[in-house]
Structure 1
Amino acid sequence: MTPQRYTRTLEWSGTLTGRPASDLIAWMDGWDPHECSLAIATLNAVLQGASQYRDLIGESTPLGGGNLAVFRAMAAEFGSGRISVIGRYPGLDDVLAPFDFVCIERMPGNGDLPDQAAEYLLPDSEWSFITASALANKTLPRLLELGRASRTVLMGPSLPWTSTWRDWGVDYLAGVEVLDAELLWRVVSEGGGVRIFEDAVGYRLLVLHRRSEPACA
């Protein structure tokens, strides 16, 4: 996740190599968006080496590549209720066109709603798809609270693979696995953004809870 607030210079550049991972993960307690993003990236790197990560990945279903793989894979489960998506995904309108959906975005574009719309729309949604980058910008606890009556999917490359999300009321995890590490490094270093989804990483879906009916129905 790249913070939307840019800076010409990161004061800690060139000083991170060799430091304990715990030092960087502790930055999650702060408010600087760049430090929080780096902290989550470090946490994810540490979690990937844990046995729980391997267990969760083993229980999950591969969805393949593509920025919209999660929505395509889950479309058959959507009903007539509202689908609220936190975070803009390129091409989302084409995939969700047959459904009643809204996209809520911190920096809204054409057709998006501002992030304060979540206060009004998530409590009455059947599905809530929440980008895991909300963990870095500190909005995730409130979004999960607002969407507790809906089927909640926490998703994106920033997602920490941990069963702890069950305690937060998350129903599905939709994170990524690295398919081609060399290609991923090259795309990221060349500023490829969502192009990582073409061949470098692929989504996986894990069911934490399966509800017969959403509580808001």
Structure 2
Amino acid sequence: DYLGLTFNDDVVNASISGTRDFGTVVAWCRLVGTVEVFNQVEQEIAELVGTEACSIFASTTLLNHGVIPALMGKDGVLFLEKSAHMTMYEGAKIARDSGSKLCNFNLNDLEQLEDLLIENQHISKKLICVDGVNSMTGDYTDLPRLDKLAKKYNALLYVDDAHGFGVVGEKPDVEYPYGKRGNGIVNYFGLDYENIVYIGCFSKAYGSFGSFICCSHNLRRYLISQATPHDLGGAGPASAMCAV
């Protein structure tokens, strides 16, 4: 609860009003339908982060378990940084069990990563998975160098910034060393989203529940049907989106 919003009166009252307006849970999956407040939050988060679109999941764990296998299919190769969050590793194992290849590299050992990318450059679907802000140490990943490598070898960079979103943001300076607006580590480094998908969550800084992936419109449409939490799981409480 980085910013103390869990007990903020406005946030609490919005959640209570959301429960009265929408009930205790939105039980159907996102593939079937939604309520407008989910779409509103997705639009505002996409604008804040700076991407075309955004897709909300009930939790970061479910997002990583569903999105990583959906991106990899049966014939991709996944490069997972060894100290990345365990939920990414669990998602990677699901992808591996479906036929994709899993490779590990050490934190910020980009020479090792490049060797693996060269070794697997013949595979068309390549995904590099890292924490933005490391969940255990608070260290920032070397995103500018990772972005260059991803572009060089035509890989997609998957940045789980659940522990940075809401605090780490754009244009850091002496007065604001974490940056401004809390719009994530990609903006902190002044990068674009040409080769990056960005993952964040609401439970660390926003005083609410849920997670999201910021991506292109095409990828959002794809995930609605191909990521299992959107296809097989409930959306969760709309009151959490009202709090956001």
Kindly indicate whether structure 1 or structure 2 has the higher relative contact order, using CA contacts under 8 Å at least 6 residues apart. Answer: 2
Q: Provide the TM-score with structure 1 as the length reference.
A: 0.48
- TM-score (norm: length of structure 2): 0.43
